[in-house]
Amino acid sequence: MLGLSLGKLLVLVVLIGVVWYGFKYAARIEAIRRDVRADVARRQAARRGGSARPVEDLVKCAQCGAFVAAEGAKKCGKPNCPWGG
């Protein structure tokens, strides 16, 4: 009839497995490429835009407990405020 033997069925199963895992591998490679492209685009956008404000160190006010910029802090208006005007 069809002439299917055990050897032919095993070869067919192996071929189907190779094709199946080949497609899974190709999909994984494409996902990695897409992630890398997105990462590169994000880095380029960050490099072009830069940050809006530089990072500043903060210190805790001994009087009120609020954190203020270490450079150029202004008086909060409370009595005995350690920060100059």
Domain range summary for the chain, segments of one domain joined by +: 1-50, 52-85
* Distance of alpha carbon 25 from the chain centroid: 23
Indicate yes or no: pTM above 0.75. no
pLDDT tens profile 3-61:
788 999 999 999 999 999 999 999 999 999 999 999 998 888 888 876 556 677 888 87
What is the pLDDT at residue 33?
96
Alpha-carbon distances, residue 85 vs 15, 61, 81 (angstroms): 80, 14, 10
Please enumerate in sequence order all residues whose Cβ is within 8 A of that of 81, keeping only pairs 6 or more positions apart, or say none.
Answer: 61, 63, 64, 75
